[in-house]
Structure 1
């Protein structure tokens, strides 16, 4: 389920300082997610032998592909947000450039939707991945206890 623009125009009332704070928050969260992705990659590499078992290989491959896709998406999203943040000058330069300001607000609205969708999708992936790895580890632990 993707979050879409419902037509509300509250973004038109957000002041430039709030837009700046929001973009800083997004960048902070995205950089934290990049660190998490490194940890998830470590988990996958560390438990490779368990994950390449023929019973779970297909699911493992799917998870790795999705994780790789999110890693590529995050770099693009960070670049978009940084570019957007650099363009904030349009909103605070004391010039009346209504068309440019409107475009900036529209871009901010698009980024709200894009980051919200990314955060939601990433949380779902992370939950699936942790559940998947913990299930495999539990099975391995049970095998060791039986031997």
Structure 2
């Protein structure tokens, strides 16, 4: 049965709202990562670090490279989620169960990808925090 948003069955409308909410949450998380990376880049370029710190240059370069990789992936994922969100309206127009199932499978796959990306970024943030905290504490104790 083909339904419009205003004629959607209550359970179908709820499911569509949940999918929409998921997509908007993913977009919000991915947008925030861009801001966090901007902060980390400024932090790692700051003069807060002692040039005498062993392997400082190499470690900072590694963090910068990892952040750029995360940012690139982040932009790709953001584009995918936005396209996915746009297809949600098409799913409302679809009158076949297969269309719904295909979208739901894609939604689940994309959700797993986003969760993996967020975990990877959180691990990178933790590594940066631990590294910079140690350097800043050492410079404060001098």
Corresponding position of 1:127? 126
Write out the 4+ residue segments of structure 1 that deviate beyond 4 Å after TM superposition. Answer: 51-54
Unpaired runs of at least 5, structure 1: 1-13
Q: How many residues are aligned here? A: 129
Deviations 1:58-96 (A, max 9, x none): 222211111110011110000000000000023212x42
Query: What TM-score, normalized by structure 1, do the two folds share?
Result: 0.79
Superposed displacement of residue 102, structure 1: 2.0
Corresponding position of 1:31? 31
Corresponding position of 2:41? 41
CA RMSD in angstroms, aligned pairs only = 2.0
Which segment drifts farther, 54-63 or 17-26? 54-63
Query: What TM-score, normalized by structure 2, do the two folds share?
Result: 0.81
Unpaired runs of at least 5, structure 2: 1-13
Which segment drifts farther, 104-113 or 40-49? 40-49
Inter-partner Cα distance in structure 2 for 1:117 and 1:51: 35
Inter-partner Cα distance in structure 1 for 2:71 and 2:33: 9
Task: Please say if 1:70 is aligned against 2:60.
Answer: no
